[in-house]
Each structure stands twice: as structure tokens, then as C-alpha cells.
Structure 1
Amino acid sequence: MAEHLASIFGTEKDRVNCPFYFKIGACRHGDRCSRLHNRPTISPTLLLSNMYHRPDMITPGVDAQGQPIDPRKIQEHFEDFYEDIFEELGKFGEIESLNVCDNLADHMIGNVYVQFREEDQAAAALQALQGRFYSGRPIIADFSPVTDFREATCRQYEENNCNRGGYCNFMHVKMIGRELRKKLFGRYRGYRIRRSRSRSASPKGHRRDSDRRERDRDRDYYRGGHGRSSRERPEKERKRRSRSPAREGSEERRARIEQWNREKEAREQ
């Protein structure tokens, strides 16, 4: 029975734990959800709820006065926000990914997810954010169970064909320009190593495929995947990443939360 419960933890078959909270750290039912939201006591990822307010959040493409907004102005507004948040949170440690939701549903609109390399860096950032404001609004921050953004993002949105639009229950992650990404993430050694390898000479006939692979790697890096398999990473980097408890997979996290549930039930008896 225990093995069966562990195997379905965080899936639609799990009638006890909420799969949406497990995957994206947010649920449209909130505290009224009939399933449990196992809030982590420590995590490398923080969720800053409803923090980003886009200038056309009432009606996409239109400002509060009903006037059309140039899409370039909207992107500039977003990238100014992104850089501001990155610089502030970067004071507490190395940021592996910073994702901002473009969803419109109340439980996801403007959500900001920041994943640090180490859990203690996230803990320090969380403590520093308590009681602070941004643009006149209080910052609502907490640890998030999300550690793999590839499971949390909407694949159809990335391919520009999500039929649920802004009310999709998976992350629609807003993208920043390549130059800003290079400016912010380029300060980290792992990113510089990856970029230097991608610039190695290749035959002219393969340049288009190489550019496409580079774009895919850039997108994976932005989402926290880093675009390389464990076999391609330097030995020193693999060892350093393996020391962090944040690298556990879904099965390990499910088993750990299941253990927490059993311990909680034992204490209540």
C-alpha cells in the first residue's frame, strides 16, 4: 500500500494530495481545496505571489484608460521589472532561474518563481523579504515545492497554441530578450562555460541546426534545465550539484512528503 501511495503521489490519481500544488506551487481552489497542500519548510525555490502587474493586466494590449499599448512598451516594462527583481534577489545567492507567469487566473497572475542554487540562499532571501513592499504593495513570499519547471510549464504555450489562453493552470512563462538574459545570468561561471562551448566553430552546413540547438539550450537554461545532460557537465560541477539536497527527483520528494504525512498522523493519534 505504501509503495502504491508513493507511486501516485502528486498525480491525478492521488485523492489526498493536490497535484497542481505539487507541480506549480499554486492551486485555483486555494485553501478551499479538498486535497492537501504540503507546504515545504525549506526549498531552493521561492514563490512571490501576484507580484508582477503588467500595464495591460485588465485587458491584454489595452491600458486602464482603454488605449492600445505598443507591445514593445509592455516588454520594456516587463524587462525593467525582471532586472530589478533579479538584482535584488541576486544579493542572497546564485539564481538558477527566475520565472514570471503570464497567466490571468487569480492564483497565478503575476506569480514570480525564483530558484536559487542552494536552499540556505532561498531561506536568507525569504527572511529578508518579510514585511517589505514593492510598488506600494506588500510582498507575499513563501517556499515553493516547484524544483523542476519543465513539469510546471505549459508546453502548448511555448509552441503558441495553448487553447486555454491566460486561464491555463500550467505556467505561461514570460520570456526576456537574449541580451538581458546574457547580462544577468552571464555573471555565473556555469553559464559562461556553456556559452563558450556553444560558440565553437562548426561547418557552415550545420550552422542552422546549431543555432536552433543553442536557442533550445538557452530556453532550458532560463527554465532551470541548463540544457545539458549530466554526462555533458564537468565532473566538478556534477559533484557540487549532487551535494545540494534540492536536486532530489519527483519520486524522492513524493517519498519524503509521504513520510511527513505518516509522521503527522502518528503524532495526532
Structure 2
Amino acid sequence: MAEHLASIFGTEKDRVNCPFYFKIGACRHGDRCSRLHNRPTISPTILMANMYQNPLLNAPLGPDGLPIRVDPKAAQEHFEDFYEDVFEELAQHGELENLNVCDNFADHMVGNVYAKFRDEDAAARALQALQGRYYDGRQIIIEFSPVTDFREATCRQYEENTCNRGGYCNFMHLKPIGRELRRKLFGRYHRRDRDRDRERSRSPRRDRDRDRDRDRDRRRSRSRDRARGRSRSRERGGGGGGGGDRRARETSEERRARIASWNMERDDRDGGGGPGGPPGPPPYGGGGGGYNPW
């Protein structure tokens, strides 16, 4: 049962909760609606009801009793000035993801301004700051809104210029702003995101460069250690290749005995050094210009 209720919550099949209030944050029946309007106590989206006063809808009457014609270009400039004012005021409290103004005519939607922040704390700060404030001489009526996905709240036929209900449609008809203004206002966040992404991409690159340098230093260190090992092995007379014919390091007594043997052989060849003959040369040189056994 609980899963079934959760699956139909906020839909037309839900006989308890109002689907229009859930999707749009407003209902044409208001407090007289037979279904519940579950007002959120916290949300990333705030609603400022009937805040924008469209000059096309509020034009004064002329002598003939008809509304005075308003230049559409001047009306768009008036709207974009309003949009920029609201954006800059709200942006002081946090990053905005959406700022939408309804172009509907029905009383429960006309001039509604929806502002969705990146996080709920920013929305709460904005609501507290604007509570009781005035704009253009009119008090701001502000509350948290359940709307978080404007794709579900927007009239798709209006976006395709095919809505036959006009301004009295029960889904949002959102007033567009110019490309330059959108780039000016929301572009600051896109630049910040690009800078953040660029910084993230730089960090792994620096880590890779540092790891590569560290590996290169390790390889060089291992190569030097192997070279020192081969050098010490040759000094000890170790092993294979061209070092196999080298003698092991002799002790002092062995060197003395061999030198004495060489001297006796030399004396025998020269005819000296026998019994009663002249002594041979000293074992470590001297006299005859320094003797080198090698």
C-alpha cells in the first residue's frame, strides 16, 4: 500500500494531494482546493507570488476606454530590467540555477517569480532577507516552493507556439530573456565551473608529472647502484668475463714471501746472492731506483 501511494503521489491519481500545487507551486482553487497543498518547510526553490507587473497587462485606459498600446520592445526592456534587478538581489545569497517569471494571465500564476538555488541554505537565506520587503511599492509575498523540476511545470505547447489555452493555461508560460542578458547573468557561474574543472584537470596532470619524475629518479638510482656493484665486484677480483684471470688480493706475508723468492731467482741469474756473495736488492726497493714487484 505504501509503495502504491508513493508511486501516485503528486499525480492525477492522487486523491489526497493536489497535483497542480506539487508541479507548479500554485493552484487555481487556492485554499478552497479539495486536495492538500503540502507546503515545504525547506526547498532550494522560492516563489514570489504576483511580483512582476507586466506593462502589457497593466496599461492605463485611453479616452476610448481601451488600454493604451504599449510598444512590445519597450515592454521587453522593462521586463529585462526587472529580471536583472531580481537576479542581482538573489545572487547575493547563493548561486542561482533558475530564475523563471510566468507570463500567464490567471490570478494564481500571473507575475509569479520562481528562483531555484543550487542548495537549500541559499534559498533559506534569500527568503529570510526578502521577507517583509517591498519592490516597486508592493510588498513581496514569498514562500518555499515544491517545484524543483521546471520541465514538468512548463507548458511544452507554449514553447512550440501551439498552446491554444493562451495565458490562462494551467502550466507555466515562462517569459524569455535575451541571449546577451542570460550570458551576462548566468555566464559568471559557467566561467566559475570551467575554472573549477580546469583546476581539477590540472591537479591529476601535476600528479602524473610528479609520479613520472619520481619513477625516473628511482630508475636512475637503481642504475647507479648496479654500476657501483659491478665496480666493487671487479675490485674484489670477482668473476666472469675479463676478470677471471685476476689474482685474489694477497696478504702481506704472501707478498713478502713471493718478493723474496723473485729476488733469489734474480740473484741466481745475475750470479750473486749465493752463499758468501753480495746480498741481493732490498725487497721494497731503495738504492736502485725503486723496486716494483709488478
TM-score, length basis structure 2: 0.63
Q: Deviations over 1:51-109 (max 9, x none)?
A: 00011114xxx654322111101100100000000011110000101000000000000
- Paired position in structure 2 for 1:178: 179
Once the two structures are TM-superposed, the CA of residue 193 in structure 1 deviates from its matched residue by 3.8
1:107-118 correspondence to structure 2 within 5 Å:
107-118=108-119
Letter in 1 for 2:130: L
Measure, in 1, the Cα distance between the counterparts of 2:47 and 2:147.
9
2:30 is the alignment partner of 1:21? no
1:97-246 correspondence to structure 2 within 5 Å:
97-189=98-190, 193=194
2:109 is the alignment partner of 1:96? no
Letter in 1 for 2:27: C
Measure, in 2, the Cα distance between the counterparts of 1:123 and 1:64.
41
Letter in 2 for 1:5: L
2:97 is paired with a residue of what secondary structure?
strand
Q: Which has the higher contact order (CA 8 A, sep 6+)?
A: 1
Letter in 1 for 2:8: I
Per the alignment, do residues 191 and 52 of structure 1 end up closer, same or farther by CA in structure 2, a change over 3 Å counting? farther
Per the alignment, do residues 9 and 191 of structure 1 end up closer, same or farther by CA in structure 2, a change over 3 Å counting? farther
Measure, in 2, the Cα distance between the counterparts of 1:64 and 1:125.
37
Q: Deviations over 1:97-128 (max 9, x none)?
A: 10000000000000000000010000000000
Once the two structures are TM-superposed, the CA of residue 172 in structure 1 deviates from its matched residue by 0.2
Measure, in 2, the Cα distance between the counterparts of 1:147 and 1:63.
36
Once the two structures are TM-superposed, the CA of residue 190 in structure 1 deviates from its matched residue by 6.1
Measure, in 2, the Cα distance between the counterparts of 1:191 and 1:27.
37
Letter in 2 for 1:138: Q
Once the two structures are TM-superposed, the CA of residue 189 in structure 1 deviates from its matched residue by 3.5
Q: Deviations over 1:138-167 (max 9, x none)?
A: 000000000000000000000011010000
TM-score, length basis structure 1: 0.69
Q: Which runs of 5+ in 2 are unaligned?
A: 201-294
Measure, in 1, the Cα distance between the counterparts of 2:93 and 2:123.
7
1:98 is paired with a residue of what secondary structure?
strand
1:188 is paired with a residue of what secondary structure?
helix
| Contact 1:94 1:116 (8 Å CA) reproduced | yes
2:71 is the alignment partner of 1:42? no
1:51 is paired with a residue of what secondary structure?
coil
Letter in 2 for 1:7: S
Q: Which runs of 5+ in 1 are unaligned?
A: 195-232, 237-269
Larger Rg computed on CA atoms: 2
| Contact 1:186 1:192 (8 Å CA) reproduced | no
Instruction: Say what the alpha-carbon RMSD is for the aligned residues.
Output: 1.8
Measure, in 2, the Cα distance between the counterparts of 1:48 and 1:64.
28
Number of residue-to-residue matches in the alignment: 194
| Contact 1:56 1:63 (8 Å CA) reproduced | no
Runs (4 or more) in structure 1 with deviation over 6 Å come to none
Measure, in 1, the Cα distance between the counterparts of 2:48 and 2:4.
34
